[in-house]
Amino acid sequence: MAKTIDFIFDFASPNGYFARKALTGVAERTGATINLIPCLLGGLFKATGNQAPMVAFGGIKGKMDYEMLEIRRFIARHGLAAFRMNPNFPINSLTAMRGLCAVEPGPDFDTYVEAVSAGFWEGRLAMGDPAVLASVLTEAGLDAEAILTAAQTDPVKARLADNTAAAVDRGAFGVPTFFVGSEMFFGKERLGQVEEMLS
């Protein structure tokens, strides 16, 4: 039986960036296929009453310091030295996520994900600005004008909204979330559990 990891994803989440990078190794070791599902993190938060960790836990002594320690450990463990915290964080990812829906499915999907992820979490760019996003897409060899035009069409907008609603219906409340069959796992720290289940 084919093994698939449904990956609830939004560029806006640095933990989504980390998880996507590390998930490649999980897939290679287990023979699983990654099904990256574009969703809007803000939509997940709104639908479930969730908040970003810096908002939810910012007032708890030591909590965010520990979060940063965990990030440093994860970066070291998975060799993610290219990561740079974006000074524009939090970043509005709506246009970027609609653009991803505009190229899905298709041959440009992986190129788009790689380029835009790098813009968010390696290049430290203001990726909420459509002009900056267009520049990143063009540099990656993609037709930025066609993609961003398609991103504003009703079917593409509906695809992102429907993906987000479907993720909420499955139990997702944030990014990164993974599903193996009906089993849900939340957070990059659960990747070991995902791998155990697939193995």
Q: What is the pLDDT of residues 139-151, one digit of tens each?
A: 999 999 999 999 9
Residue 121 has what pLDDT? 98
Residue 141 has what pLDDT? 98
Q: Give this prediction's pTM.
A: 0.94
Residue 65 has what pLDDT? 93
Contact 152, 159 (CB under 8 A): no
Residue 55 has what pLDDT? 82
pLDDT 10s digits, 169-183: 999 999 999 999 999
CB-based contacts of 114, cutoff 8 Å, min separation 6: 140
Residue 1 has what pLDDT? 55
- Residues of the chain with pLDDT below 70 are 1
Q: Give the Cα separation of 119 and 161 in Å (integer).
A: 23
